[in-house]
């Protein structure tokens, strides 16, 4: 790694003034320089609490970039600590509308990385060293991949020290207690004993302003929790903990006609879609195998046998009839027309 590469030094940033720089990221093929945005707002001499926000870990999940834009453009006074934002971690995939790195590695399976490994491992090491040098709390912004939409939710490991308290004070009520994945940023941060929350919302290669605002509210709620900003909003509210998840898959190939809504409470046996032939004849109805809430769904109408259609979160600790409103949706929370 050349010395011109970005190497975060908090002493380079003037206290009280947010700054956005375009810094050098590692080149690929040794031919082309790559620059990516990095935002740092240092409010006080004391660096902590330091909140780090990352987006576009997968280059096609661009809705997190929009959330980062709203955060960086927001007129706010940081009262203490430091806010660090990397809006396009995987700048290479972003520029190519592609999920992966140039060497076809998923960076979110390469952390914490190695400085003498393959490109994916080296780049993960480069990112990890910079974000963990000062970071105390981490927010990683994601969406569904291309052709999949996720409702706003956070994913975290509730066994991480301090995670329960943090989750109780965030703005997103739907919490998926998710096991750590090998090589993910969340796993690597957890091994440092620090909390990392993943926000999931929206669809790959699409910007959804409503989803972006949910992400912004999540960040604001965490900043407020640590006393870094003043907020008039009250973020403490009931949380719905999802402990088990499962994809409902297509039993046959065909044209999918979706009958369900995002965030809908569904019951076992309920029809949520139809598969039809090109002639229009019905192949089969798609029925729910379990009670639950639709966490995400395919947005593609062309499906093959085995394709993932509906991502269902089990409501093991809740009565679905108590959670649903008159239209069968989760507490008016999932208002995508707002």
pLDDT score recorded for residue 328: 52
**Spatial CA neighbour of 307 closest among 233, 264, 254:** 254
pTM: 0.94
**Same CATH fold, 244-323 and 10-240?**
no
Q: Enumerate the domain spans of the chain.
A: 10-240, 244-323
| Under 8 Å between Cβ of 218 and 156 | no
Which CATH architecture is the domain 244-323 placed in?
Answer: Beta Barrel (2.40)
As a whole number of angstroms, the distance between CA 266 and CA 181 comes to 28
Tokens for 171, please give them. 């703005």
Residue 102's SS3 state is: coil
What SS3 class is residue 189? Answer: helix
Among 158, 176, 147, smallest CA distance to 241 is for 176
Sheet holding 254-258, edge to edge: 282-287, 271-276, 254-258, 302-303
Q: CA 44, 78, 7, 62: dihedral to nearest 10 degrees? A: 170
Find residue 294's DSSP bridge partners.
312
Q: Domain 10-240 falls in which CATH fold?
A: Aminopeptidase (3.40.630)
Dihedral sign computed on CA atoms, order 146, 295, 235, 190: negative
Q: Are 264 and 297 in contact (CB under 8 A)?
A: no
* DSSP 3-state of 321: helix
pLDDT of 315 reads 84
List strand residue ranges (DSSP E) for 50-109, in order.
Answer: 50-55, 82-86
Place of tokens 């093959």: 304
132 phi, psi to nearest 5 deg: -90, -5
pLDDT score recorded for residue 2: 45
Q: Are strands 174-177 and 240-242 parallel, antiparallel or unpaired?
A: parallel
Residue 336: the pLDDT is: 47
- Give the pLDDT of the chain (338 residues) as one tens digit per residue: 445 899 999 999 999 999 999 999 999 777 778 999 999 999 999 999 999 999 999 999 999 999 999 999 999 999 999 999 999 999 999 999 999 999 999 999 999 999 999 999 999 999 999 999 999 999 999 999 999 999 999 999 999 888 999 999 999 989 999 999 999 999 999 999 999 999 999 999 999 999 999 999 999 999 999 999 998 777 767 888 999 999 999 999 999 999 998 888 999 999 999 999 999 999 999 999 989 999 999 999 999 999 999 999 998 877 766 665 545 555 445 444 43
């Amino acid at each position: 790694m050349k010395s011109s590469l970005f190497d975060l030094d908090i002493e380079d940033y003037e206290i009280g003034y947010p700054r956005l720089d375009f810094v050098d990221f590692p080149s690929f093929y040794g031919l082309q320089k790559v620059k990516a945005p990095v935002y740092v707002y240092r409010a006080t001499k004391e660096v902590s609490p330091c909140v780090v926000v990352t987006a576009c870990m997968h280059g096609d999940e661009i809705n997190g970039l929009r959330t980062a834009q709203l955060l960086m453009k927001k007129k706010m006074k940081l009262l203490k600590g430091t806010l660090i934002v990397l809006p396009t971690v995987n700048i290479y995939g972003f520029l190519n509308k592609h999920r992966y790195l140039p060497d076809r590695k998923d960076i979110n399976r390469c952390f914490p990385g190695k400085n003498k490994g393959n490109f994916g491992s080296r780049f993960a090491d480069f990112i990890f060293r910079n974000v963990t040098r000062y970071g105390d709390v981490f927010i990683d912004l994601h969406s569904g991949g291309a052709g999949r939409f996720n409702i706003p939710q956070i994913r975290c490991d509730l066994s991480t020290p301090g995670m329960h308290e943090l989750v109780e004070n965030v703005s997103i009520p739907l919490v998926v207690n998710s096991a750590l994945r090998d090589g993910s940023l969340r796993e690597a941060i957890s091994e440092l004993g620090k909390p990392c929350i993943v926000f999931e919302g929206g669809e790959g290669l699409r910007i959804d302003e409503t989803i972006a605002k949910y992400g912004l509210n999540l960040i604001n709620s965490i900043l407020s929790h640590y006393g870094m900003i003043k907020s008039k909003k009250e973020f403490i509210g009931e949380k719905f903990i999802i402990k088990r998840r499962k994809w409902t898959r297509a039993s046959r190939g065909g044209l999918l006609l979706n009958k369900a809504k995002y965030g809908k409470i569904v019951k076992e046996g309920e029809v949520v879609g139809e598969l039809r032939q090109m002639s229009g004849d019905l192949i089969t109805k798609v029925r729910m195998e379990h009670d639950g809430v639709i966490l995400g769904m395919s947005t593609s109408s062309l499906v093959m046998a085995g394709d993932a259609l509906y991502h269902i979160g089990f409501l093991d600790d809740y009565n679905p009839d108590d959670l649903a409103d008159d239209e069968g949706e989760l507490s008016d929370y999932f208002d995508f027309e707002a």
